[in-house]
Structure 1
Amino acid sequence: MAMFKNYYQVLGVETFADAEVVRQAFRKLARQHHPDLNAGNTQAEERFKQLNEAYEILSNPDKRAMHDASLQAMQQGSATEGKNAYKKQAAQQAKGKATPPPPSEKKTTAPPSDKTPEDKAQTKGSTTSINDLFESFLKKGFQDKSNQASSTEGVFKTGKESGGKPSEKSARGEDVHVKTVIALQEASEGVVKTVNVQHNELCRRCSGTGKVNGAVCPVCHGEKILIRLKKIDVRIPAGVKNGSKVRVAKEGGRGQGGAESGDLFLQIEISFDPALRIEGMDVYGEVPIALTDAVLGCEIEVNTLNGGVKMTVPAGTQPGKVFRLKERGVQSGLTQGDHFVTVVVVLPDHLSAREKELYQELARLRPEKPSPKKPR
């Protein structure tokens, strides 16, 4: 005779906890003890099987009702009290006071000789024990073809059940949040980013049954699901703001019992050249040039949000001169800001003898001193 198990204790929740608490506890523990994450750990594998067995019972309304009635009878000490407790629970369910609904009350049309153990247990004066009753019920439930899919499939499977009908218990998949870093130029122009998202998929080798030709599936090792990294290309629109989110519908966690999958949210973090400063839609930066370039003029390349841009520095450019590059700033819709470039003249910190001689010659050629600017 199989020993009665309190499946609430297996999942680490309070006895008679509601369905949502049971589901969350199973999801957390199943992920923690999943064989794929504990390769070679036989204890984790055994624990995972126990969790599946517990959730198989507590996620099925009829099996849970029988389990709860048996549990109450074990606590109270008799099968008759278990039956009364079960009837009381059914009455409370009708009033919305109990979580698991009772099993069907329809009478069987089978002849007396074909009565099941649970039918006999409900007959007045029956001496069948609660353990025998629950063991028989479990055996019948596990042999039922309509319940061959494990509780792991119920949590992670998406779409419809193998029979083509939605599961009685359905729940939308969880949303997945992923952070991605893009350059300021990519934020301005828009970009397509490839992200890796973890998905739980039914094993294709065994079609989610856990077996191939009667043997344990060599791919999923009988667990029916596989954890895969799925690459998804996400288009990030032009002008996206730092900290904003881009939603990709139905690319999150898989739904339960035929419900739709959750969404994928890409949280945008913009990385840009720290030498640049953004104010509104305009960009500000500095470009160093040599003294001779400021005097004689030159052509330089400026790093903007839209890539490198060549800019002409005219002869005689004064230090601190600001140049404007039109429509090279941040873009928002059809409007784009400007990029302002401040010229910084870098003086030589070491002169060779020849360079010093030339500067002295230059000083003789231009003896005048610059006059200070008068305050306005």
Structure 2
Amino acid sequence: MTSTAEPNYWSLLGLEPDSDADALKRAFRREARRWHPDLNANDRQAEERFKLVNEAYAVLSDPKRRRAWEGRSIDPPSHVDPFASGFPGFEDYLEVVLGLGRRRANDEDDEARQTVTDSPVDSQHFSGDWPATAPPPPPPPVHAAETLETDVLLTPDQALCGTAVEIELRDGTLVEVLTPPQAGDGWRLRLAGVTPGGGDHFLHLRVQTEEGLRIDGLRVHYRLELLPADAALGCAVDVPTLSGPVTLQVPPGSSSGRLLRLRGRGLESDDRRGDQLVEIVVVIPAELTEAERALYRRLQELALETELD
């Protein structure tokens, strides 16, 4: 066995004592799939649990060994580990244990194969080599590499000059990453091959102020939300900058997506100073009064009349 304390095989397979053969096979298939090492690459305990599941089925499916186990006089197991040379692929493993392989055309070959495959993979007698009539186990499956992403918050000064960021990987390893100078909000830094399966870990840089200013190199971005009337007629509005609020004159007829420039309101480096770009976003109130609805209907009528003219 795989441990010094003898396990309860029925409990190990999630069965009540004296369950029939069909229930035993179903439980074995379920637990074998659950604990097969190929399907649990990141679980160090899966291998031992898989061996116990195999051992439980080997004992409970053999009437003689089952009677001996129930009387707690089962013969001591051999020291040979049937999985010493590795674990077979899950589907091929089930073919050997449960006899699920394809039928052969020749009845004699089929009968001989059935004699072999109806016996469980016994932890005491299985030598680790597959029967000559069974196909060789396939190569281990290729596990998809996992890609992870972590948000990293930076101040405008940290983004401008670059800073050291400490990241803890899933296995507990601490990695120090230096962000590049003049980094921007939304940038992604790649740590190649550090995740389980050899995938990448990306650092997603977030460089924003409480006022909603987004930093990108020396440039600053700001989204200015306006009501339709203000965008259509033009207005003066205060907008935040890194050095304090300033009054911006919005021209009449400004649509969503229009960019207005505040020169010299960005970050400064080596006698260079960036600008601040203000993006106009026209928003419609979620709830309108009856008077507002009437005005919008009138505007709609005027638009239709203009199209007809």
TM-score range, shorter-chain basis? Answer: 0.3 to 0.5
TM-score by length of 1: 0.27
Higher RCO (CA < 8 A, seq sep 6+): 1
* Higher-Rg member (1/2): 1
